[in-house]
Amino acid sequence: MDEMRWFIQAAKPFRGMTIRVVSERIDTHVYESNVLTRAFSDITGINVVHELTGEDDVIKKLQTQIQTGVNLYDAYINDSDLIGYHYRSGETVILSDYIEAEGKSVTLPTLDLDDFIGISFTEAPDGRVYQLPDQQFANLYWYRHDWFARPDLQKKFKAIYGYELGVPDNWSAYEDIAEFFTVHVKEIDGERVWGHMDYARTDPSLGWRMSDAWLSMAGAGDKGLPNGYPVDEWGIRVIGCQPAGASVKRGGAIDSPAAVYAVTKFVEWLDKYAPPEAKELNFTEAGEWVSKGNIAQQVFWYTAFTASLTDPDLPIVNEDGTPKWRMAPSPHGVYWDEGMKLGYQDAGSWTLLKNTPPMRRDAAWLYAQFVVSKSISLKKTLVGLTPIRESDIESPVMTERAPYLGGLVEFYRSRGRDVWTPTGTNVPDYARLSNYWWQFVSRAVEGKETVEDAMRQLASAMDAELQQIADESVLRCKPVLNEVESEAVWLKRDGSPKAKRNERPKGKTLSYEEAIRAWQ
């Protein structure tokens, strides 16, 4: 209770204030908005309006406050994906400096930055911390463990494909399993089932499928952790810290064979193996879809939805509360090589802007620390299942909950949590560049363009925007584009962009135990 006593004291100068914060709309933030704001207000006398909205809205609002100077919010919970912008722009409070200087009196002595498993995501290349993790989730493979374990389905799968039904190690196996359930099994217990689930409405969240991980799972970037270097999972090349181009002709990989392969598979699987509704869904609507009980697997599923899949009344949960499903490492595409990041993990993180009035910023910082404090964090983790602290993950209560969480605890206790990483620092202005993904990929999804054309146009648009950022901004490490060279020349060089490979090797699967061993 020492922490609570500290909050009471530290909040005295701010009593009676109402502060405004905003975050995206997932279970963890719903808990903060509905429950923790009330507790914080009761303890400190500071009222908090914690707004929930779409992640794209959070980004747009943050961008608006920076561009206009209008104090929209006193703090933002913004993905660490924007770290490339935060450290380049000079608009964001550098937390590691702030807590040592002007924020010292309002910084919780037991904050313990080293206890945050995602703190490296919020550190810039200058070694300073710009954001404080609030919730963390990964994109993993999700599947119906109970169906995969059925002898009749195992036998049928082996008869058709010649290998075991199990956790897919590569995209060929994922594709085979998708076809197996959608085309060959079709019904289980009288219900129509599907071998694949995704979402693809023309919406900002469509872009996240690509920018978060499809290209990285396919293997579009270079080797290196947390992000490929010099070409990252977005396909942006850097020289030092300066973005040098996204198109192959400038040394990037957004229109490379690997990227085209990635998006081709995305569209093909959606058309052939997902429920027809998938094309009309966005991130939020699709999140809980697998809980309906008619999806066999999902290549790229957000663990932020774990809490909503543990309800004992769901058809995917056993009577004893254990899940019928499991999460495992996502399969990789043919351009992926050992040593590359495989999937995506994100730390929604507290971000303070320099143009927020200091008094309001300090009060908001108290709320930020309250919702991640050691007194609150474990309970919040158990509610939202988006762990941020090592001490929570290693706690006895998480050991007790592990059998009910389908592999979540095993993932966070393994080295996997370091290999699944967010968007890196090659992206100089996430808010400006992220729009292009959904705008161009949607053309391929809707059949208006071929995948090749859509990606070529995306690459051109991304190059043009990088150039414009260079021309207009005062960012440090701003883009300096490479001169155009022949694509053939770039594809012959080592690393990304990579020349075309055999895109349909034989499928390979693993047992669940073998698959999760990759995390250990």
Q: In Å, how far are 456, 475, 484 from 460, measured between CA atoms?
A: 6, 22, 12
Q: Say whether residue 518 binds another protein (CB under 8 A).
A: no
Q: Say whether residue 61 binds another protein (CB under 8 A).
A: yes
Query: Which one-letter DSSP state was computed for residue 367?
Result: H
Question: Which is nearer to another protein, 41 or 414 (by Cβ)?
Answer: 41
Cross-strand partners of 143: 297, 326
Distance CA 345, CA 135 (A): 11
Neighbours of 15 (CB within 10 A): 12
What x/- string results for residues 152 through 191 when contact with another protein is judged by CB under 8 A?
----------------------------------------
Q: What minimum distance in Å lies between the beta carbon of 473 and another protein?
A: 12
From 67-75, 140-148, 253-261, 312-320, give the range in contact with another protein by CB under 8 A: 67-75
Q: Say whether residue 355 binds another protein (CB under 8 A).
A: no
Could you tell me how many residues of this chain bind another protein (CB under 8 A)?
Answer: 36
Residue (of 265, 138, 253, 145) closest to 200 by Cα position: 265
Q: Say whether residue 27 binds another protein (CB under 8 A).
A: no
Among 8, 9, 15, 68, binds another protein (CB under 8 A): 68
Q: Say whether residue 460 binds another protein (CB under 8 A).
A: no
Give the number of C-alpha atoms closer than 13 A to the C-alpha of residue 440, restricted to the C-beta side: 24
Q: Say whether residue 9 binds another protein (CB under 8 A).
A: no
Helices (H), 190-306: 204-208, 215-218, 257-273, 283-287
Question: Which is nearer to another protein, 73 or 335 (by Cβ)?
Answer: 73
What x/- string results for residues 103 through 142 when contact with another protein is judged by CB under 8 A?
----------------------------------------
From 4-12, 41-49, 164-172, 253-261, give the range in contact with another protein by CB under 8 A: 41-49
Q: Say whether residue 72 binds another protein (CB under 8 A).
A: yes
Distance CA 319, CA 121 (A): 39
Neighbours of 66 (CB within 10 A): 18
Distance CA 110, CA 280 (A): 46
Q: Say whether residue 399 binds another protein (CB under 8 A).
A: no
Among 9, 34, 399, 486, binds another protein (CB under 8 A): 34
| Count, residues in the chain | 520
Q: Say whether residue 348 binds another protein (CB under 8 A).
A: no
Query: Which one-letter DSSP state was computed for residue 33?
Result: I
Give the number of C-alpha atoms closer than 13 A to the C-alpha of residue 346, restricted to the C-beta side: 22
- ∠ CA 454-237-468 to the nearest 5 degrees? 70
Q: What minimum distance in Å lies between the beta carbon of 71 and another protein?
A: 10
Question: Which is nearer to another protein, 34 or 486 (by Cβ)?
Answer: 34
What x/- string results for residues 194 through 223 when contact with another protein is judged by CB under 8 A?
-------xxxxx------------------
User: Would you say the C-alpha torsion 422, 133, 203, 420 has a positive or negative sign?
Assistant: positive
Q: Say whether residue 45 binds another protein (CB under 8 A).
A: no
Q: Say whether residue 473 binds another protein (CB under 8 A).
A: no
Distance CA 440, CA 207 (A): 9
Are residues 223 and 340 in contact, defined by beta-carbon separation less than 8 angstroms?
yes
Q: What minimum distance in Å lies between the beta carbon of 72 and another protein?
A: 5
Give the number of C-alpha atoms closer than 13 A to the C-alpha of residue 216, restricted to the C-beta side: 35
Question: Which is nearer to another protein, 19 or 108 (by Cβ)?
Answer: 19
First to last CA, the chain: 36
Residues that bind another protein (CB under 8 A): 18, 20, 22, 33-34, 37-38, 41, 47, 49-57, 60-61, 64, 67-70, 72-73, 201-205, 282, 438-439, 442
